[in-house]
Amino acid sequence: MPRKHGTGTRKIIGVNYETKTGSKTMTYFNEPLIYMNQPKKWLKETNEIYYKKPLVIKRLENCKCELCGIQSSIPGDFAVHHVKKLKSLKDKYFKANIITPYWVQRMIELNRRTLIVCKKCHKDIHFGKEI
């Protein structure tokens, strides 16, 4: 979400170095390693890279189908179904007064362009079957 709103960082790197006056830390962040004048005081271990996990990865690691609720310990049993625009789904089904499939209702309810689904549900979505 932060990148969507132009805030936040995904990668923070701190470099420790010695000077005549003592130990200092130089902090860099983001891809082009932009230099910041003031190092972050809250960095404990400065030689680590911190990544924020995208929500879709967290949802995929849950190993649960968001349509039928089936659970599995194998992450390969699931797929990510996505659409280009959520608005296009709303236009297609709600403006034309077509019966809305459950997977579309679920995407709109979650306000996400992606759904984590099992292989069976993913096949049913693409073949237009009722879930």
Find tokens 């000077």 and name the residue. 19
74-88 pLDDT per residue, tens: 878 999 999 999 888
Mean pLDDT along residues 49-61:
81
Count other C-beta atoms under 10 Å from residue 131's C-beta. 14
Q: Give me the pLDDT at residue 114, please.
A: 93
Domain ranges of the chain: 1-52, 55-127
The percentage of the chain sitting over the pLDDT mark of 90, rounded to a whole number, equals 29
Predicted local confidence at residue 5, as pLDDT = 52
Residue reference for tokens 């699931």: 78
pLDDT 10s digits, 22-36 = 888 877 665 554 555
What is the DSSP track for 37-85?
Answer: SS--TT-SSTT----PPPHHHHHHHT-B-TTT--B-S-GGGEEEEE-S-
How confident is the model over 56-66, as a mean pLDDT? 89
pLDDT attached to residue 35: 55
What pTM value is reported for the model? 0.57
